Structure 1
């Protein structure tokens, strides 16, 4: 699933400056009970995530979209004072993603997992709230509070690193880059000209399986390059040869072992949307 998450805080600031300063404070607080025991859940156990809407600066319902690798019920509107409940199947350190939108300008996007937050037994509570004042300009602050958390370490191989370099010169707009694997996704990021984007993901450990990752690059609203790769399939080697470089230029996106030369075997042309 390719889900783009883009913040428009800068455009919101221009729109609201004339009306006075608006301070928007999103507090996403995690409430979980402390426990002295650790419980490993079986694959058929269900985890519950609850999001409560306490955003007061707008009358619009809070749009909430939470999903895991196996469960996704889509985006749901949550009225003020209401709660959104999402159940997903646990597969030991199961990650889940949430995107919260109080209006068309702001959102909070986060990634969590059931054994990283809380003790793995109680529901996970996220509380969205806002605070308003007067003045001029827009101030947005996202705070994530981790209360009574306990993380169980998981043995894994070293993370694989993907690096995308923006050398697109025909437009002054930053390059929108979104890379993800089946377990790791930090959303889309804007990358300025001459700047690198770095994405780390966990490889699969067993057998001869190859961990796939996906990337979608957009230099403007009309063109994009979308490709699928894997850590053992590009540039040969045993998967431990270092970062995977992608060079975004005006003609195409080129894969390369380093910055010395492009590898024409791994070239992805820009496609019209």
Structure 2
């Protein structure tokens, strides 16, 4: 008996909104299967409708990617539907703005669990099959934040630094296998991420113009198809990367910290007072108790 044919699929995590949802719509234009992975079944239903309208065949899967068995649960879902992961898009992730000493530790560790551990687990789970088939690849959503440490968003910036380094190394390792690993590093994007993370209230993200999630998706897909190692959508992101490379850390780190901090944020000293009351309006004056 001939086994049923296994069809290639584009698997997109974080597919219910933002950049992930837009990449799923772009991938759907090829007319194949698009597996949509996120936690919310309701949001996935809307994303599935978008994929279908774009010409693809959607397969929504509500899944917590931080669960230890998430890669195998996804693998089983693919097998049940006669699919194999041809392209993996790791778009799921989150961040938090605020002092590391003031934000809940468990929520900060959750950034590592989703942005780093889950991304790594999925990538390592599906890459061997791609290499065996000599096709496909991985798109990892990084950020312009990966090029500099980020005071007051320390874990988010660090997680994106890992994503860029990990993706770049894999791209080099796999460059003769027919498999591509691409890191996408946009600047500020007009999505719900800015408000959910609190970053939208920081001056850094208020000053910088924002690119649309659709533009990021279009450039990410084209860059991946062209076999590129790194895609940096938007002129602002490219300028930010150049600036971060030219400025010494003694200037860059205080600047990033000041632009991301708000005066009513809890002071990192642990006093419980707002930052401006410990340090003054300029952030330069130190008062007793903030040592």
TM-score for both structures, normalised by structure 1? 0.28
Higher strand proportion (structure 1 or 2): 1
Higher helix proportion (structure 1 or 2): 2
